[in-house]
Chains A and B, each alone.
Chain A
Amino acid sequence: MKTLLNLSWRNIWRHPARSSVLMAAIIIGLWAGVVTVGIMNGMMQQRVDYLIESEVTHAQVHHPEFLAEGYSRLYIPEHEEIKEWLENDNRVEAFTLRTITDGMLQSPVKTSGVRIRGVEIESEIRTTTFHENIIEGEYLDADIPNAVIMGKKLADDHNMEVGNRVVLTFEDVNNELTSGSFNIVGIFQSASVTYDERNVFVRSEELIRQLADKPIYHEAAMMLRHEDLANEVVADLNSSFSGIEAQSWRELSPELSMIVELGGVMMIMITSIIMIALAFGILNTMLMAIFERMREIGMLISIGMSRMRVFLMIMLESIILTASGVAIGFLLAWASMNHFKDSGINFEMFAEGAAQLGWDHIIYPIITPNEYAVILSVVVIITLFASMYPAIKGIRIDPLEAAKDS
């Protein structure tokens, strides 16, 4: 075995340029694969985290028909009991109640359909990070009556700015149209332009005053101690109360759930594409190496080297070459991931486009040990398969090749 290793190692360096190019391809391919998977993971996770932390939260409670119908009369019954339950459950880190209705926003410029979200300022700030999205003016804690904050896109479309007034029109719980004049106190910009265009925020007590003659809430949103608790808490809420529907973020936002699943699929696709390219690189290089050495391999078989040893020699050449590339590639990838996981990768040139799609332009790549293991396993399997064909070609060489004239 030592002799075979020695021979294989020297065979690799028979053509240093060719072996170096293949090794560089393996290093770059692996590095690119790991970093790309890391970036994809980071993007997905950031998107999920942002949406959960800024708005969706880990779980929500609604009237069973509210999400489908959107009428303000479909509020949560027994909201006081639910509030008490949430206050006393130690799995719940924070929660907030929201009053929500669909309506129209009118400005001197135009009219737009919007979702009007009434929030309780203190509990909302404890529960979500949405207030951090204010880019102009103040949040709803401003000391101005009938305050409203709106998205930058909506404000631009209506040529509105902080200090201007808009009229919000909506149906109350009795299906009567009602409207009110609201003062713009702040402009927000979330990660999604679409969201910014379709949502405005007001104080819940001011919205409730126009919707009903008693406190009504359409949504109880909660952050839990850990995301994994979501299904358990949702099940407990649904079994403890009637006339409501509790849902986890995965049910509330199927697109978020899909993002997470898509991350896994993307990882497999990216890894596969890179590895297939890698496999062809190994296959091509090793086949060239075999065809160039037909006479030499014929001689080895002539003088008594078994075909199994020839097979091992060729396999070892591929394995040593790939293992060296993989080791360096992984080291580089690990170093890059370690660096970028804290500093992030700034895709500023795509910032505008990313914002349109609701993505952040600074990505903090993430890769788990499990994903490293998957990529490594795929590399090992691909290498073995790619080496197999040249090795089989090698063992089929006729020893008479050694005696051929040319």
Chain B
Amino acid sequence: MAIIKTENLSKVYNPDTVPVHALNDVTISFDEGEFTTVRGPSGSGKTTLLNMIGGLDKPTEGAVTIDEVNISGLKDSKRINFRLHNIGFVFQHYNLIPVFTARENVSFIMLLQKRSKKEIEERADKLLDQVGLGKKKDSRPVQMSGGEQQRVAVARALASEPKFILADEPTANLDTASAMNLLDIMEKMNQEENVTFIFSTHDQRVIDRARRVITMVDGAIHKDERKEISP
């Protein structure tokens, strides 16, 4: 069942000066439980597509519907609130709060959701255990490696129990071992807990793991392949 649908999605930057067509009439849908990669050369529109799906940017034309809600039509404050409860983000640069510990970083989003203290503590500890950072709960980002920070970022993205997670180049700054470890964790979450992941990446290691690979060229869907991964 599709949880994300885009219809005739277009995005033009600088329409009044030097127009840049980042997305051209993109219509696509994503089902619950997918482990999908959006690939393509630089400037192909993969990050723009993810930003539209994540409600971080508004399309010039078309609409993004998530669980029957047209998020493109929501006011800024409503979109922020929608993101808080429905979408998880993993960024290329981890983007953790440097003054918070790993546990506090994971808890923060649940505090914004106004969950109970007990639930926040239990869920933060559980997620950090799941990403293999049970012993680094009280470490600050500066005390962790890039791979560890990205795992905290994954735990933070999962903390709000989103409908799906958008990960923009999540392995770009990681060495092979850390990247593989991170992918293992995300794949496990996907398979065991049916968490939907959508990646934007150049990284072949991620592409190889994906069960659906969407290739973009010049702001349009060039190829949309589904593959079976042997267990």
Contacts and interface: CB of A to CB of B under 8 A. Distances in A.
Given A305-B112, A307-B80, A7 B97 contact: yes
A187 interface: no
A406 to B, nearest CB: 9
Interface in A264-314: 295-296, 299-307, 309
B80 A304 contact: yes
Given A304-B80, A304-B112, A307-B80, A403 B97 contact: no
A11 interface: yes
B95 A304 contact: no
Contacts of A13: 99
Given A304-B84, A304-B85, A306-B77, A14 B111 contact: no
Nearest to B153: A299
B127 to A, nearest CB: 15
Contacts of A393: none
B74 to A, nearest CB: 13
A122 B198 CA distance: 102
Contact of A10 (B77, B100, B109, B111): B100
B99 A7 contact: yes
A400 interface: yes
Interface in A304-328: 304-307, 309
A399 B109 contact: no
A81 interface: no
Contacts of A303: 83-84, 88-89, 109, 112, 156, 160
Nearest to A308: B77
A244 B99 CA distance: 79
A302 B57 contact: no
B10 interface: no
Contacts of A309: 112
B77 A304 contact: no
Given A303-B109, A307-B76, A14 B99 contact: yes
A296 B95 contact: yes
A84 interface: no
Interface string B69-93: 0000000110011011100110111
Interface residues of A, number: 23
Interface in B98-114: 98-100, 108-109, 111-113
Interface in A33-80: none
Contacts of A7: 97, 99-100
A11 to B, nearest CB: 6
Contacts of A400: 51, 56-57
B92 A403 contact: yes
B54 interface: yes
Greatest chain B CB density within 10 A among A7, A295, A304, A405 is at: A304
Given A400-B51, A402-B89, A403-B91, A301 B80 contact: yes
Interface string A5-23: 0010011011000000000
B47 interface: yes
Nearest to A295: B95
Contacts of B112: 3, 303-305, 309
A119 to B, nearest CB: 75
A211 to B, nearest CB: 86
Interface string B5-49: 000000000000000000000000000000000000000000100
A394 B51 CA distance: 20
A401 to B, nearest CB: 10
Nearest to B94: A299
A400 B56 CA distance: 6
A13 B98 CA distance: 11
A14 to B, nearest CB: 6
Nearest to B76: A307
A403 B98 contact: no
B91 A306 contact: no
B77 A307 contact: yes
A402 B160 CA distance: 18
B168 interface: yes
Contacts of A405: 92
Contacts of A305: 80, 84, 112
A4 to B, nearest CB: 9
Contacts of B47: 403
A307 B81 CA distance: 10
B134 to A, nearest CB: 23
Contacts of A302: 54, 56, 83, 89
Contacts of B168: 403
Given A304-B113, A307-B76, A400-B56, 9 more contacts: A295-B93, A296-B95, A296-B98, A300-B97, A301-B80, A303-B88, A303-B112, A304-B80, A402-B95
What are the 4 A-B residue pairs with the smallest beta carbon separation, nearest first?
Answer: A304-B84, A10-B99, A299-B95, A3-B111
25 contacts: A3-B112, A7-B97, A10-B99, A295-B93, A296-B98, A299-B89, A299-B91, A299-B95, A300-B97, A301-B80, A302-B54, A303-B160, A304-B80, A304-B81, A304-B83, A304-B160, A305-B80, A305-B84, A305-B112, A306-B80, A307-B76, A399-B56, A402-B89, A402-B95, A403-B51
Interface of B: 47, 51, 54, 56-57, 76-77, 80-81, 83-85, 88-89, 91-93, 95, 97-100, 108-109, 111-113, 156, 160, 168
Interface of A: 3, 7, 10-11, 13-14, 295-296, 299-307, 309, 399-400, 402-403, 405
